Amino acid sequence: MSTPYLNQLQPFLDYLRFEKRYSHHTLISYQNDLEQFFQYLKSQFDGPELKDIKVVFVRSWLAEMRGENMLPKSLNRKISSLKSFFKYQVRLGELSQSPMTTIVSPKVKKRLPSFVTQDDMQKLKETIPEPGSWKEKTDKILLEILYNTGMRLSELVNLKEHHIDFGNGQLKVLGKGNKERIIPVSKELLNEIGAYINEKSLGIESGATDNLLVNSKGKPLYSKYVYLVVKNNLSTVTTLQKRSPHVLRHTFATHLTNNGADLNAVKELLGHSSLAATQVYTHNTIDKLKDIYKSAHPKA
């Protein structure tokens, strides 16, 4: 990659990291997308200066990826990376106009979210034995927190003890972009969290970490560990192909909407920036209404 592109890329990544508060995973994706695009410019168009990058160059790159049968979802992410990069350059005054203004993202077929039924979640709760070891206690409470709050995996592993507000029956979550949101918590779960914290302070060397959930050595949980705990436990009650922590997030939202929760309230609980992202859960409510209609209406 040519030096001018490197000089433009790093300040943009710093902007995403420190001002937009993007996650490490997102930063890596943006960096890979942009480096791939710049390498294409260098190989096909002799590495034009930033101000000389034209929309035809972008279209040529996108066409090549379509020819490689890239999925629309992946293509959209690359378009989003380019749009953000060039928008930043316009903001800095490096460009008068973005070459992305006429680029339209391909439509992506929305997949309905997978979720675990309420009966299966109840079955899971009943089949988990009374925990004895610290690992078993940690596994049990992380499952309950995920299902009872709908928080993301990254939010769970970064949850701190001081984020738990026992007096008001709620906890604070730091979501995407470092945005805070408050989630109400049942008294039952609060009691379990309190007991977990007390036992940790007596028998687990947690060192300098303030993370709520730790392993037997007092170290914060890593994402892969949580993923495997969720997958292994959900495998005992459901045949769903996906059995990830995100499925428990979908389950949380679906059960709320199925039981009459206001969609705007669900949006706030999930930390969605747009109601459109939350509306996908209404399909489950509609399915439930159809079932009720079929079973109750004489002409159904």
Decide: 139 and 190 in contact? Cβ < 8 Å.
no
C-alpha–C-alpha distance, residues 275 and 280, integer Å? 9
Instruction: Calculate the CA 151 to chain-centre distance.
Output: 9
Is 152 considered catalytic here?
yes
From the candidates 83, 176, 283, 288, give the one annotated as an active-site residue. Answer: 176
Q: Which of 42, 219, 231, 246 is flagged as catalytic?
A: 246
Of the candidates 141, 136, 150, 143, the one whose C-alpha atom is nearest the C-alpha of residue 120 is 143
Active site residue 163: no
Given 137, 243, 249, 255, the catalytic residue: 249
Of these residues, 22, 30, 196, 281, which one is catalytic? Answer: 281
* Alpha-carbon torsion (161, 261, 227, 116), positive or negative: positive
Torsion angle, alpha carbons of 186, 137, 181, 174, to 10: 170
**Is residue 260 left, alpha or beta, with left meaning phi > 0 and alpha meaning psi from -120 to 50?**
left
H runs (alpha helix) in the chain: 3-18, 24-45, 55-67, 72-92, 118-127, 134-149, 153-157, 187-203, 223-234, 245-258, 263-270, 275-278, 282-296
- SS3 for 145-184 is HHHHHCCCHHHHHCCEHHHEECCCCEEEEECHHHCEEEEE
| Calpha distance 255→249 (Å, rounded) | 10
176 a catalytic residue = yes
Residue 249 known to be catalytic: yes
Cβ–Cβ < 8 Å for 199, 135? no
Which residue among 78, 152, 200, 255 is the active-site one? Answer: 152
Contact 122, 128 (CB under 8 A): no
Q: Distance between CA 174 and CA 158 in Å, rounded?
A: 8
Active centre residues (catalytic): 152, 176, 246, 249, 272, 281
